[in-house]
Structure 1
Amino acid sequence: MPIRKAAALLPLAALSVLFAGCSGKGATPTSTPSVSPQPPTASKVNEHAVPQALETKSFEAAPCSAPSPEQVAGLGAPLKSATPRTDPEGPGCSIRFATDNPNSVVGTIFTSDHSGMSGLYEKQQQGGFTDFKPFTVSGYPGAVFANVSTSDPAHCSLAVGLRDDLTYSVSVSLDSATTPLGDPCALGKKVAGFVVEYLKKAQN
């Protein structure tokens, strides 16, 4: 058989095999293996979820509602002033202590960011912080964080999750590490705890 004629017959030969399989003549039909349906892919679990989402609308309108003057005094020095502030990140409160040297705490409801605590963990995994220490306050996840530019023994920055898409940040700035207010991070955690407890009670 000439080569050109043989090549022309190849597609027909291939088709004949297919038809033979369909009709049951010629080639022995092969059974189609059954395919079990795959279970739906499970959604990614939020490892830093809050135990209960906290409503913050009233707190956003009055961000100095917590901590109370009595709670501030219990931190080691009386309250000098609590001033509401509006920052690009969200509503907040600047707390100043009645001490000889300037000592303050700024709390901010981060309404501009909706990544919650997961966003902080993601930034930490990307090398965004030189210091990152998780903690829990009143059952809610938080973390102390710092980078080279903000690392100072008299300062501390931390955040606690209020909802999976909302955090409350606390920035503590003391005149020195030996003030009567003690460790700035321990103080910041107490402030975060006061806010969480205030919001938990406000849900009822």
Structure 2
Amino acid sequence: MIDVLPPWPLLGAFLLASLLLAVTPGPAVVYLLTRTLAQGRRAGLASVVGVALGNLGNAVGAAIGLAALFAVSSLAFTVVKYAGAAYLVYLGVQALRSAQAVPQQQAQTPPATMKTVFRDGFLVALLNPKTALFFAAFLPQFTSAAHSPLLQSATLGAVFVAVAATTDVFYVLMASLVAGRVRRMGRARLWGRYATAGAFIGLGAYTALSGSRGKA
């Protein structure tokens, strides 16, 4: 591990920076909170695992040069960016159709399976090219030219994902404390479906319309 991790002062700075970045709410946190409030702690934790693996995929992609491809190819960035945005909107439309199709007195519709929740979290995170660009910009600040850049970047990326997953679990646990009350509020459950749909569609619009390629 000595060859792939920076010396302790620099590693400490990396961990602190990772923690500060991870606790800052972003689209992934909104997604996790939405899932938790809609389906409870188990769904939220399944989403955390999916998001973490999607982020890890982006970290590995950055380490092997995927982010470099995005940086020089507007087409590659645009394709992945809009694929991710389209998938988020698709999730929102599905939630909206569910809310409109189910009468209020039949609000006990079976929730999405844990497999579906995991898959959605994974794709939401993986299909965000800005995450790969972020890793490409952030990780090199803590690597050394004396050792393998690929191995160092992949290891640091995995550490960052672990830190982010830890803070995501905290968000899910906090949300789960009020999820039960929200689901027991009768009409609020139906409105919760609309809120879920709005959150997904809003995240899709944010992904499609947000800043330039160089901004994580």
Question: TM-score if structure 1 supplies the norm length?
Answer: 0.28
Write 1 or 2 for the structure with the bigger share of helix: 2
Structure whose alpha-carbon radius of gyration is higher: 1
Higher strand share goes to which structure? 1
